[in-house]
Structure formats: C-alpha cells, structure tokens
Amino acid sequence: MTAKIDANDPVLGTDLAVELVRQIRAIDAYGTLDNQSDAEVLSPFILTKEEKRELPIVGDPDELVVARMRAFYNAISALIEKECGLMAVPLLNLTHEGFGRALITVGKLVVMDKTLRDVHRFGFESLSKLKDEADSILSVALKIIGEHSDVAGM
C-alpha cells in the first residue's frame, strides 16, 4: 500500500499521531502492520474528496472503518487523560447502517457527544485536517472538564 502521507510530515511527530499509531498497532493482533511506517499506518485515515465521491452515499461500514473510528476516539481519550489526569472513556454506538453516536466521558461528565452519520465514509482530507478535528474535540473537552471538575472527578 502506498502511503498518502509524506513521511516527513511534521504532524507525524505530534502527540495525536503518536497515540493514534499506538492505538492502531495495539489492535493489529497478527502483526500485519509491523513492517509499515507510521505514515503508512495512518494512511487509511486519509480519504480525499475523489475517494469519498467514489463511495456510495448509503453503505454499511466494514470492520476496518469502525476499528479506525474507535482508534481515533480512543486516541483522543488517551490525550484527555494525559492532560487532566482523569480517566476518559470513549463509547461508540453504531447501527449496522453506519449511524450512531460517539461519546467521551470523564467521571460522570460527558465531554464529547457527536452524532455519527455515513460512518462508511469516515476519513479526513489530510493528516492536518485529522489533527485539527482532534484538537478541536480535545480543546472543548478540556474546557468542559475545567468548568465542571467536580463532576469529572466523580
């Protein structure tokens, strides 16, 4: 597989990319990714506009897409834990048709709640767009935790 990400992309050195690679490698039970670079491991997260156009409007997500989505939210949860020291728990609830909801909780506090649609088209235009999305979620989550630390600590 050809990497869609430049091996010298500075985003590969960020906490998010490192954690996302760690999450993906953790679920690779058979070691199929052992010989792949970090850029190659993250390449399936990149879905250009042309690639999205090729996908049907309605479709059922396959296991690999769902695993990537879980890894994405697991990585964000790990970064929340790293920042605030409290355990963050991601939850994905999906129908077989690719609709559902993603939540991240810290204690009794919901710090992220996102409605999911068209999960079979999950992906980002570039690694920097992936990072921007994760940073946005992380920023809002940390703000909520700061404002409601008593509930987050429960």
Provide the pLDDT confidence category of residue 105 given band limits of 50, 70 and 90: very high
Whole-angstrom Cα distance, residue 72 to residue 62? 16
Tokens of 100: 């559902």
pTM of this structure:
0.91
The rounded Cα 43 to chain-centroid distance in angstroms is 13
Indicate the helix (H) or strand (E) that contains 123: none
Provide the pLDDT confidence category of residue 1 given band limits of 50, 70 and 90: very low
pLDDT tens for 30-44 read 989 999 999 999 999
Per-residue confidence (pLDDT) for residue 61, from 0 to 100: 84
- Residue 154 CB partners (closer than 8 Å, separation 6+): 107, 108, 109
The answer to whether 86 touches 132, Cβ cutoff 8 Å, is no
Per-residue confidence (pLDDT) for residue 2, from 0 to 100: 53
Per-residue confidence (pLDDT) for residue 59, from 0 to 100: 75
- Residue 3 CB partners (closer than 8 Å, separation 6+): 37, 39, 40, 43
pLDDT tens for 4-59 read 888 889 999 999 999 999 999 999 999 899 999 999 999 999 998 888 888 877 77
pLDDT tens for 120-149 read 889 999 999 999 999 999 999 999 999 999
Q: Which domains does the chain show, CATH number per domain?
A: 10-152 (1.10.3100.20)
What's the mean pLDDT in 109-125?
Answer: 93
CA–CA distances in Å: residue 61 to residues 11, 55, 120, 130: 27, 11, 4, 19
111 vs 154, higher pLDDT: 111
Tokens of 138: 């992380």
